[in-house]
Amino acid sequence: MTNLSNNIKTHLLLVLATIFWGVTPAFMKVSLLEMNAFTFSTLRLFTALIVSGLLLVFSRSWKKVEKKDWLLFVVIGLFGFFIFQISFPVGVKYTSASISSLIMATLPVNVVLINLLLRSEKISLRTITGIILSIAGITVIILGTKGGISLEGTYTIGVILLIISEVGFAVYTVKSKSLISKYSLYQVMFLVILFSFVPFVFISAKNIISTPFYSVSGIAWTGLIFTGIFGTCIANILWYGGIRHLGSTKTSIYANLPPVFGIIVSFIFLNETLTLLQIAGGFVIMAGVILVNRKNS
């Protein structure tokens, strides 16, 4: 019963993480109207660093890091946050929204390929089927969105950067497993953010210095703080919890849920139209997630 309860809790917390990721773009859009993208990303990471540090202190879960693990922390920090945060926003800028969504949906595929290459997790036919279903669901949602699948505004550099960002996040997802099995989720989160925050400061220092923070509105600051605390820190800690209990492949399928919650939020708060195809796509994605994570009978 305890194992069943823990399993249900893990799935619910992963859904919560995807809700945070699903609403993050709306908050980002508001903040980026008043801040440079590099300034915003650096301050968002700084917020996440402070929160993860406080969680680490209050949990009293710090453990001495083994020498061989320091390099892995650096690698995961660079791939999981630094490279992703650099390439993803620029990639989105130079591709259409529909193409961006399709490329983002490849995360579970990249995780599967890395796990097969490293032979770190067994991949079943059911898992492959579930992943295909989730990508099909994303496609259906895009087809149900105004404009459908479009190449307009898409450039090769944008596609390449988005692929890099998704492969980077896949490496981050797979390689995090060995660290969260030895250290607390809070310690891993703190160190990963730390090793991605430092290079961000160097590349964005000029933008930060030149930003007129006195003119930034409270709404923009709210967007930055929300995405830093919930979209970056809390959501990734919940993501780590999923990797620890379910493995990287089963957890990665949840990465295709944020568009569903993004559409729901847009429908409720922005009065955007919710089409039958979008609803159908959401159900197809959920079917894929359930199929991948269903226990063997």
Token pair listed for 126: 């059911």
* CB 244 within 8 Å of CB 181: yes
Cα separation, 208 vs 186, in Å, equals 28
Cα separation, 99 vs 153, in Å, equals 10
Task: Give Cα separations from 178 to 127, 181, 188 (angstroms).
Answer: 22, 5, 11
Cα separation, 187 vs 175, in Å, equals 15
φ/ψ bin of 96: left (φ > 0), alpha (ψ from -120 to 50), beta (otherwise) = beta
Q: pLDDT in tens for each of the 297 residues of the chain?
A: 466 677 788 889 999 998 888 888 778 878 888 888 788 889 999 999 999 999 999 999 999 999 999 999 998 888 777 888 778 777 766 776 667 777 777 888 888 888 888 877 788 888 888 888 888 888 887 777 766 666 666 668 878 888 888 888 888 888 888 899 999 999 999 999 999 999 888 888 888 888 888 889 999 999 999 999 998 999 999 999 999 998 888 888 888 888 787 777 767 766 666 778 878 888 888 888 888 877 654
Cα separation, 219 vs 250, in Å, equals 36
E strand or H helix that includes residue 155? none
Cα separation, 98 vs 66, in Å, equals 43
Q: Where are the domains of the chain?
A: 2-127+150-245
* CB 231 within 8 Å of CB 110: no
